[in-house]
Amino acid sequence: MSGIELHTERLILREWRDADLQPFSALNADSEVMRFMPRQLSREESDDRARRIRDHFKQHGFGLWAVEVRDGQPFVGFVGLSVPRFETDFTPCVEVGWRLARSAWGNGYATEAAKRAVTFGFNELGLTEVVSYTVPENLRSRRVMERLGMTHDPSEKFDHPLLEEGHPLRRHVLYRLSRSSSDGSILESAATDGTAKGTP
C-alpha cells in the first residue's frame, strides 16, 4: 500500500526519504512554525514523528506526504491525510493537515497540495468527508481550510483529548468538507492538475 505519489502543477507529494529528516527537524525546531503546537521538537522527537508518519502510510496506504517543490527545494514539509489517534465526538475520521517550513509560506503550496490530497481522499479512497482542526488563533491554517471550501460550525469547538485540562492550546475549532457538499472544484482539479502513481 505504500508508494503513492501525487502531482500538482508545482509540487510532488511523495514518500518520505531519510534525507528529509534533517530539514524536517529544522522546521520542527522553528518557533514560528511550531507556534500553535505544544512545543518545538528536538531532533529525536522530530525523527520519531517522521517514523510515525511512515508507519501511518504502512497501516493505511495514505498519510502526510513529504512535499517537494518541482525544480526547487526537495523537501518543504508535509501535507496530507491522517487518521487521528484519539477518540472524540467526530472520530473515526480522516483529517487533512499541513506543516511547511517558513521559507515555503506565502506561495499557495499548502492549499495546492491539500486540494490534491483531498481529491485523492474523495476519488481514490472513497471518503465521504474530510475534517481539519486547529486552535482558533491559527489563522493561516484556518485560511487554508477556508480556501479548500471547508466550513466551520461554531458549535463544534472541542477540547483536544491529547492535551491536559487547562493547557492553553486545548481548545480547537473543527472544519469539515463533505464530498457531496464540495462545490466540485476539488474533484475537477483531479482531472486537470494531478496524477497518482502507485496502487492504494
Ligand X SMILES: CC(C)(COP(=O)(O)OP(=O)(O)OC[C@H]1O[C@@H](n2cnc3c(N)ncnc32)[C@H](O)[C@@H]1OP(=O)(O)O)[C@@H](O)C(=O)NCCC(=O)NCCS
Q: Which is nearer to ligand X, 4 or 100 (CB)?
A: 100
3-state SS, the chain, equals: CCCCEEECCCEEEECCCHHHHHHHHHHHCCCCCCCCCCCCCCHHHHHHHHHHHHHHHHHHCCCEEEEEECCCCCCCEEEEEECCCCCCCCCCCCEEEEEECHHHCCCCHHHHHHHHHHHHHHHCCCCCEEEEEECCCCHHHHHHHHHCCCEECHHHCEECCCCCCCCCCCEEEEEEEECCCCCCHHHHHHHHHCCEECCC
Told to check if 107 binds ligand X by CB under 6 A, we report yes
Considering only the stretches 82-90, 134-142, 148-156, 177-185, report the one whose residues sit in contact with ligand X under the rule CB under 6 A.
134-142
Per CB under 6 A, does 25 bind ligand X? no
Segment lying near ligand X (by CB under 6 A), choices 14-22, 51-59, 102-110, 151-159: 102-110
Of 140, 170, 171, 179, the one binding ligand X (CB under 6 A) is 140
Given 8, 46, 138, 182, the residue binding ligand X (CB under 6 A): 138
Contact between 46 and ligand X by CB under 6 A: the answer reads no
Residues that contact ligand X, how many (by CB under 6 A): 19
Which residues make up the interface to ligand X (CB under 6 A)?
33, 36, 98-100, 105-111, 134, 138, 140-141, 143-144, 147
